[in-house]
Structure 1
Amino acid sequence: MRTVQTVQGQTVQGQAVQGQAVQGQRPLLLVVATGMRTYREYLLRSIRGEFDIHLFHVDEPTWEKEYISGWTVLPTTLDGPAMADAAREVHAATPVAGVLCWDEGRIHAASYVAEALGLRNGAPDVIWRLRDKGQTREALDAAGVAQPRSIPVRTLEEALAAADRIGYPAILKPRGLGASLGVVRVDDAVQLAEKFAFTAGAQGPDPDPLPFSTDQPVLVEELVTGEEISVDAVVRDGVVTPLFVGRKVVGYPPYAEETGHFVDGDDPLLTDPRLLDALQDTHTALGFRDGWTHSEFMLTTDGPRLIEVNGRLGGDMIPYLGVLATGIDPGLAAARAACGIAPATTPAHHRVAGIRFFYVDHDDTRIESVAFREDELPDAVEQVVAVARPGAVVSPPPKGTVWGRIAFAIATGDSVEACGAALDAAESALDVRGARDDREAPDAPDADRAGDEVHAHGH
């Protein structure tokens, strides 16, 4: 049920609209949600240089106001048709040139907005084919794109039968979640039985259920081994141009927590024929023609195998690492692609950039403080950020997958080794104080309850 909100004397059924009168002559980009300031502010900062930005959000913007020229407050940004109606009102006042969303849970809804306005990336069925990993597998199988074998299942019994067909070790994966939520390796039927509920019950950050057209929410997949990478690419008129290759650092087995990434501006994979062919064939098979994608591959001895494709900019600050490594601005490139403008894709320089995420050692740790001793940080460290705030209760994976991160550091260097050494120094300079949370861990020893130094690391 929509609400009525009044904003500066203007009453609008279902939405609060601001800022339309101050739009300039530059292209107007409609951005759906922003995400955490820590991880996404750099994108708005860049886009503002060439575009006016109208933001769709569920609350009145705060930090975003510095970068936007207008906003609409909606009850939810997960209802595509409702957002499309709101977008038509914005478009009637000032024509919208493009729609951009980098939030995995909202890219499908955002595609309805682009469709309603006749803009690029306005194909909800295509975006849903990416969001639903089961549909991704079906489309790529039909096109002959190399990928792990995959069987969708509903029950534990179906999962056990599927794993018998595929063989152990196997991977359990939710059909529609990102950030490796619910992903786990199982080595035999006993482990599968133990972990199936973990995968089947995995949830994203939003309470709204994903609109699956299937009652088979779990995928049982073949385990493929090798180096895992990600490719952030811009797509224009169906032509895929890779910009950044991220080399993943994965920890906390048998789970798949991404604990860091390295981006080399001169990575040979950017010109590797087999990877380029796999990347293009994947997008062609999925029907994705315009926008930005974040694809993940496993580099096996038989060549690259597609793990998944996300119709958005990469998370974990990977696009930011890309700009540090190459000088290519991901925010501007994505905004231009959304508006049908040729993006700049030529590197200005080549270096290595890396990020490492830090975690506490024990479940249910109540944070008192997180800080880096800045006098011990080498010049190669570009940025250190404390993510966990005082009072937060955090856990390492699997309980604290993604949201268990308490801090991160970003560094640059002439090589992965030099960059890694700088991140090691940042890890050594990290001070964390906290205690086991009494409410979460009532049986914890008294020594664990008192505020004290907490061990943290990047795995």
Structure 2
Amino acid sequence: MTTGHLLVITPGLRAYREYLLQSISREFRVHLVATEPPTWELAYTVGHTVVADLSDVDGLVRIARAVDAEQALDGVICWDETWIEQTAQVASALGLPGGDRRCVERCRDKYRTRAALDAGRVPQPRSVLVPGREEALAVAGDIGYPVVVKPRALAGSFGVVRADSPAGLLQAVEFTEASGELAPDLPAHERNILVEEFVRGPEISVDSVVHRGTVTPVCLARKEVGFEPYFEETGHVVDPDDPLWSDGTLAEVIVRTHAALGFTDGVTHTEIRLAPSGPKVIEVNARIGGGMIPLLHLMGGGPDLGLAAADVACGRPPRLRAATGHRRVAAIRFYYPPKEDSVIADVRFEKSMLPEQVVRCGPLAAAGEVKSPPPRGLMDGRVAYAIALGADAATCRAALDEAGQALRVDVA
């Protein structure tokens, strides 16, 4: 039995996001807004509207009002970073939760994020917005190398790079300036470059649901990063018994972060470095986490974060029922082509070589696509993934190593 009517703005890529539509459709009637006629999405929706341009907020509002007139909408949700500001405007126009566009902008715009967190005295890396290379050199010299150069308002680690020297900084700025071409639909700013302190320590992410100002951390993942000096996310590990769950300082930082940003309703994905001096906030995304992290959480026996996100989008307390039975560690690994400009002919795993801990795997590239490893192929350079379940993180990582040996990438 469905319990609400939800407008979903763009489904996302099937491999990364189908599980969300699947979960939500069990409890909600879903009307999908997409730029292409739906195919696989039809199994999870009761209606759809195809639009030419998701940046047309007025058009989205007209669609939402028309859907609402047929059957009242309870909420609007989006998990694509590119369109979360437009989604907030639609929610605002219909008087639905999550309609605070300024709050979403504070998360989207990393410069505004830093300013809000500074005002809230939330621990974070030192960060300076610079207009050009000369100013970047001066700021980096003041902060001290290594530093991180990042764009102000992109996503998915696009344009983020570590610089270890003045020469490396100039190369990093050039790389970051060019990165905007990879995401033309995201906002651009005249002053677009941030130079930040490099925080040493492991990186984690925390997905939280927020209902009327109450912040509930739900999913904690240990991030695996590769292809230095870039920050490509090559995998994640979700451990239900991670000792960080009992870290009071971390919990306090997460709550203070949301208060500083004024985030009161919705779901967030907060990235944090565990520095020797304590946790420091790297960024906050006003959406559910990517990289299949919530799916790992679900497969390991944790609560359904997608369903909880739909609940708070409709102004309801989140349902956070954990699966019955023993919970397990879940981990994912992403795999990349052997060289730049690889024309993919076939991607497959030799199933006879996969260990029993690998419970799901598959291609992320189709025949004919051209793929490159980072830095040219940041996230979109991935050709396959594998998910493992095990008693501990080491077991999962070993299984994913074996999966890498079983992967076959044929290049035309």
Instruction: Give the TM bin, normalised by the shorter chain.
Output: over 0.9
The structure with the largest alpha-carbon Rg is: 1
Contact 1:81 1:112 (C-alpha < 8 Å) held by counterparts: no
Contact 1:232 1:295 (C-alpha < 8 Å) held by counterparts: yes
In 2, the alpha carbon distance for the partners of 1:333 and 1:304 equals: 26
Does residue 280 of the first structure (1) align with residue 255 of the second (2)? yes
Q: What CA deviation, in whole Å up to 9, does each residue of 1:82-125 have, x standing for no partner?
A: 31232122212211101110000111110001101111110111
In 1, the alpha carbon distance for the partners of 2:322 and 2:242 equals: 12
Does residue 402 of the first structure (1) align with residue 343 of the second (2)? no
What amino acid maps onto 1:220 in structure 2? Answer: V
Q: What CA deviation, in whole Å up to 9, does each residue of 1:334-378 have, x standing for no partner?
A: 111111222222433421000001112311111121110112212
Match of 2:67 in 1: 90
Match of 1:332 in 2: 307
Match of 2:268 in 1: 293
Match of 2:204 in 1: 229
Does residue 37 of the first structure (1) align with residue 14 of the second (2)? yes
Contact 2:339 2:372 (C-alpha < 8 Å) held by counterparts: yes
Match of 2:24 in 1: 47
In 2, the alpha carbon distance for the partners of 1:106 and 1:123 equals: 14
Match of 1:323 in 2: 298
User: What's the CA shift for 1:156?
Assistant: 1.1
Does residue 164 of the first structure (1) align with residue 110 of the second (2)? no
In 2, the alpha carbon distance for the partners of 1:271 and 1:241 equals: 14
What amino acid maps onto 1:32 in structure 2? Answer: I
Aligned equivalent of 1:375, options 343, 348, 352? 352
User: What's the CA shift for 1:193?
Assistant: 1.1
Which residues in structure 2 correspond to 1:242-281 (within 5 Å)?
242-281=217-256
User: What's the CA shift for 1:397?
Assistant: 0.4
Contact 1:242 1:270 (C-alpha < 8 Å) held by counterparts: no
Match of 1:120 in 2: 97
Match of 1:434 in 2: 411
What amino acid maps onto 2:45 in structure 1? Answer: I
Contact 2:2 2:26 (C-alpha < 8 Å) held by counterparts: no
In 1, the alpha carbon distance for the partners of 2:148 and 2:355 equals: 39
In 1, the alpha carbon distance for the partners of 2:330 and 2:195 equals: 34
Which portions of structure 1, spanning 4 or more consecutive aligned residues, are displaced by more than 2 angstroms?
Answer: 78-82, 203-209, 344-350
In 1, the alpha carbon distance for the partners of 2:267 and 2:288 equals: 6
Which of 1 and 2 has higher RCO (CA within 8 Å, sep 6+)?
2
Moved more, 201-210 or 248-257: 201-210
Does residue 151 of the first structure (1) align with residue 128 of the second (2)? yes
In 1, the alpha carbon distance for the partners of 2:347 and 2:367 equals: 8
Q: What CA deviation, in whole Å up to 9, does each residue of 1:299-344 have, x standing for no partner?
A: 0111100000001111110010010123311221111111122222
Contact 2:305 2:320 (C-alpha < 8 Å) held by counterparts: no
Aligned to 1:203, the other structure's residue is in SS state helix
Aligned to 2:271, the other structure's residue is in SS state strand
In 2, the alpha carbon distance for the partners of 1:295 and 1:326 equals: 21
User: What's the CA shift for 1:206?
Assistant: 4.7
State the Cα RMSD in Å: 1.4
Aligned to 1:201, the other structure's residue is in SS state helix
Match of 1:308 in 2: 283
Q: What CA deviation, in whole Å up to 9, does each residue of 1:239-262 have, x standing for no partner?
A: 111111110111110011110110
Contact 2:223 2:237 (C-alpha < 8 Å) held by counterparts: yes
Match of 2:184 in 1: 207
Aligned to 1:360, the other structure's residue is in SS state coil
User: So what's the TM-score if we normalise by structure 2?
Assistant: 0.96
User: What's the CA shift for 1:390?
Assistant: 1.5
Cα separation, partners in 2 of 1:239 and 1:271, compared to 1, 3 Å: farther
User: What's the CA shift for 1:204?
Assistant: 6.7
Contact 1:261 1:318 (C-alpha < 8 Å) held by counterparts: yes
Aligned to 1:157, the other structure's residue is in SS state helix
In 2, the alpha carbon distance for the partners of 1:206 and 1:221 equals: 22
Contact 1:243 1:270 (C-alpha < 8 Å) held by counterparts: no
Structure 1 portions without partners, runs of 5+: 1-23, 436-459
Contact 2:149 2:194 (C-alpha < 8 Å) held by counterparts: yes
Match of 1:355 in 2: 332
Does residue 421 of the first structure (1) align with residue 405 of the second (2)? no
In 2, the alpha carbon distance for the partners of 1:80 and 1:293 equals: 22
Q: What CA deviation, in whole Å up to 9, does each residue of 1:197-250 have, x standing for no partner?
A: 11011137553351x5x5211110001110100001111111111111110111
Q: What CA deviation, in whole Å up to 9, does each residue of 1:46-68 have, x standing for no partner?
A: 11111000111112211111110
What amino acid maps onto 1:88 in structure 2? Answer: R
Match of 2:33 in 1: 56
In 2, the alpha carbon distance for the partners of 1:391 and 1:74 equals: 27
In 2, the alpha carbon distance for the partners of 1:290 and 1:154 equals: 34
- The number of aligned residues is 410
In 2, the alpha carbon distance for the partners of 1:267 and 1:78 equals: 40
Aligned to 2:336, the other structure's residue is in SS state strand
What amino acid maps onto 1:282 in structure 2? Answer: T
Aligned equivalent of 2:150, options 147, 166, 173? 173
Cα separation, partners in 2 of 1:25 and 1:295, compared to 1, 3 Å: closer
Moved more, 65-74 or 253-262: 65-74
Aligned equivalent of 1:184, options 152, 161, 164? 161
In 2, the alpha carbon distance for the partners of 1:306 and 1:370 equals: 37
